[in-house]
Amino acid sequence: MARLRVYGYARSRTLRTLWMLEELGLPYDHVDLSSQNDGTRSPDFLKINPAGHIPAIDDDGFKLSESMAINLYLAKKHGKLQPPTAQGEAKAMQWSFWAAHEVDRQVVQWIVNTAILPIEQRSTRLAFAAREEIEWPLQVLNGELGKQQYLADPNTFTVADLNVAAVLYRLLFVDLAGKPNLERWLNACWERPAAKRARAMRE
């Protein structure tokens, strides 16, 4: 059986997959490609993910893309970080879809326009709009985390927490005063040894 192969550089959404793989403790091969030099548009990579986005995996011939789906698949396949009930599994999907839809693109837009682009290329308008768009979702998350310690299984870290905390990686570097439950939970998730190993690949 071939080793699982993950495609994408760590300073991208591939961080989410790398964190999951570190949690699983399985051996894997990392193909460190990006959009530079047309890496994500090369004929070889388009055979892995025709959409040309990272992360993507090749698990012994089974090809999968979309960071949230990859992690849900790996948790289920290996029975690790997998909520134990059908309801818990549904909650993990709910939170993963929520993160992808409500905060992923918006967080990237905000950070790109406040910290990543050269100053002359940043748009205050886009940054402000994105920050405003995530305010309500972050309040919702903070409220839910005031009722229970983790998202899908009240007292246990699962793939739901990994997926959402990974999408919110950039919030580790901003002031979360006023959202103490979110701050506590985000720090706890990223304090995990597997999370630290994944972070070390990009920082």
Ligand X SMILES: N[C@@H](CCC(=O)N[C@@H](CS)C(=O)NCC(=O)O)C(=O)O
Q: How far is the CB of 135 from ligand X (least distance, A)?
A: 22
Show the DSSP H helices in the chain as ranges.
14-24, 43-48, 67-78, 86-98, 105-111, 124-147, 159-167, 180-190, 193-200
Q: Closest approach of Cβ 55 to ligand X, in Å?
A: 6
C-beta closer to ligand X: residue 87 or 116: 116
CA pair distance 4, 172, nearest whole angstrom: 29
Report, in Å, the least distance between residue 28 CB and ligand X.
Answer: 17
68 vs 81, beta carbon nearer ligand X: 68
164 or 179: CB nearest ligand X: 164
Q: Quick one: tokens of 191? A: 């304090």
Residue placing its CB nearer to ligand X in the complex, 106 or 179: 106
To ligand X, the closest distance from the beta carbon of 68 in angstroms equals 6
Closer to ligand X at the Cβ: 133 or 183?
133
Which residues, listed in sequence order, are joined to residue 167 by a DSSP beta bridge? none
User: Measuring CA to CA, which residue among 10, 48, 6 is closest to residue 31?
Assistant: 6
Closest approach of ligand X to the CB of residue 67, in Å: 4
* Interface with ligand X (CB under 6 A): 12-13, 35, 40, 52-55, 66-68
Side-chain-side CA neighbours of 152 within 13 Å: the count stands at: 27
Determine how many CB atoms are found less than 10 A away from the CB of residue 70: 23
